[in-house]
Amino acid sequence: MNPVIETENLTKIFADKLIAVNNLNLEVEEGSIYGLLGPNGAGKTTIIRQLLGLINPTAGVVKIFGERMTPNSSNLRERIGYLSTNPKFPPKMTPITYLNFIGKLFCLSKSERTSRLSSLIRSVDLLHSASHQIKDFSTGMITRLGLAAAMMNRPDLLILDEPTSGLDPVGRKSTLDLLEELDSKKTILVSSHILSDIERICTHVGIINEGKLIYSGPIKEMKKYIQSNRFRLELEGDMDAFCNRLVSIEGVVDFKRLGEFTLEIRFVSDSPVLKMVLAVLNLIVECGLDLISINSSISSIEDAFLELIEEEESLGFTRAFKN
Ligand SMILES: Nc1ncnc2c1ncn2[C@@H]1O[C@H](COP(=O)(O)OP(=O)(O)OP(=O)(O)O)[C@@H](O)[C@H]1O
Ligand SMILES: [Mg+2]
């Protein structure tokens, strides 16, 4: 498979001192939905602006559809749909006039524009506001209009910078639903700092911290890593003896007491899950405790993300020497 997006040692340094993107080697395969995940200031927008050729890299190369992206690559940009974070649209225009204008920019014929904008307005659920001025729109409506505008040219690649930013839970859900419904052949790069959003819609994920890609791979692998190596237990009885013996189980890395009767156990990532759970259950029986609940802790997804970042920070120097 050919990568649709490829960067080689991509680096951006602002004002000769701030390394916003650090030696990034990113590959996004055709047809994948790739989530670029990272905390505020991680460098997501700076990466995206370089992918689009809107700013020049300090070093390194961006290739889109196998061709080098430069500020003059309008032939490549024609095939990309882009939605920026918190987009602004002309307040006096309406979805119809705005999408028609975008269609003209892409040199679509009048009939093509009309059919495309009417189907898009319907699919982003703006039919009832199709001729209302944008100035009266909510953030969710603006985002949906932005998605429609980004898709006007039937792009082969869609790049969305924090499309769920500023949305309430209902707006977030409808935006994610929309993205899920998109043509499965399309390649999408979507940035976010919300792991659960990425987890829901993406096939692949890249975690960015301080401009560096610290994890990249299929979301399934990430989920395996996150979910299989942590379990949350709720117990009843004398916890102390149990806790004392817990760490002696082979494969248990550590545990956290979350409350008087709840704790979270972390196993070595590649340990056989069933064996680990059985060993813990045996210990519960041996210690005469009652098991109230056991589950792989979903809330630890955020923790795992933070842990990866911490791990990266503690490895910082070692990695610098290795690279
Ligand atoms: N034009 C610029 N000039 C100087 N510094 C910049 C510029 N653009 C971004 N930065 C800095 O580069 C770093 C990365 O910023 P960037 O906007 O790419 O992060 P981000 O991951 O998109 O963050 P957010 O989640 O807040 O959108 C930040 O420290 C930011 O202050
Ligand atoms: Mg950003």
**Cβ contacts of 69-75, under 8 Å, gap ≥ 24:** none
Q: How much distance in Å is there from the Cα of 18 to the middle of ligand 1?
A: 9
7, part of any domain: yes
* Angle (nearest 5°) at CA 103 between 102 and 106: 90
Q: Which secondary-structure segment (H or E) carries 170?
A: helix 169-181
What's the confidence (pLDDT) of residue 315? 60
187 plus 261 within the same structural domain: no
Closest ligand to the CA of 206: 1
163 plus 20 within the same structural domain: yes
> How many folded domains does the chain comprise?
2
| Shortest-distance Cα residue to atom 4 of ligand 1 | 14
Domain end, chosen from 174, 201, 221, is at: 221
Q: How much distance in Å is there from the Cα of 104 to the middle of ligand 1?
A: 32
The values of phi and psi at residue 111, to 5°, are -70, -35
Q: What share of the chain is helix, strand, coil (3-state, %, to 5)?
A: 40, 30, 30
What's the confidence (pLDDT) of residue 80? 95
| Shortest-distance Cα residue to atom 5 of ligand 1 | 14
pLDDT per 10-residue tile (average), the chain, 323 residues: 93 94 96 91 95 96 96 94 94 97 94 93 92 95 94 93 88 84 82 85 88 86 66 89 90 88 83 79 91 68 63 57 46
175, part of any domain: yes
179 plus 43 within the same structural domain: yes
What's the confidence (pLDDT) of residue 141? 93
Query: How remote is the C-alpha of 75 from its chain's centroid?
Result: 27
**Which residue is it, tokens 């989920």?**
223
Range of the domain at 288: 229-301
Any idea what the CATH number is for the domain that residue 206 is in?
3.40.50.300
| Shortest-distance Cα residue to atom 2 of ligand 1 | 14
What's the confidence (pLDDT) of residue 293? 86
84 plus 175 within the same structural domain: yes
297 plus 201 within the same structural domain: no
Q: How much distance in Å is there from the Cα of 294 to the middle of ligand 1?
A: 41
Q: Is 38 close to ligand 1, i.e. is its CB under 6 Å away? A: yes
| Shortest-distance Cα residue to atom 30 of ligand 1 | 41
What's the confidence (pLDDT) of residue 298? 46
Helices 110-123, 139-151: axis angle to 10 degrees equals 140
What's the confidence (pLDDT) of residue 303? 60
Q: Is 43 close to ligand 1, i.e. is its CB under 6 Å away? A: yes
Ligand 1 atom showing the smallest separation from residue 48 Cα: 18
204 plus 265 within the same structural domain: no
With 0-12 / 13-18 / 19 or more C-beta atoms within 10 angstroms meaning exposed / middle / buried, residue 1 is exposed
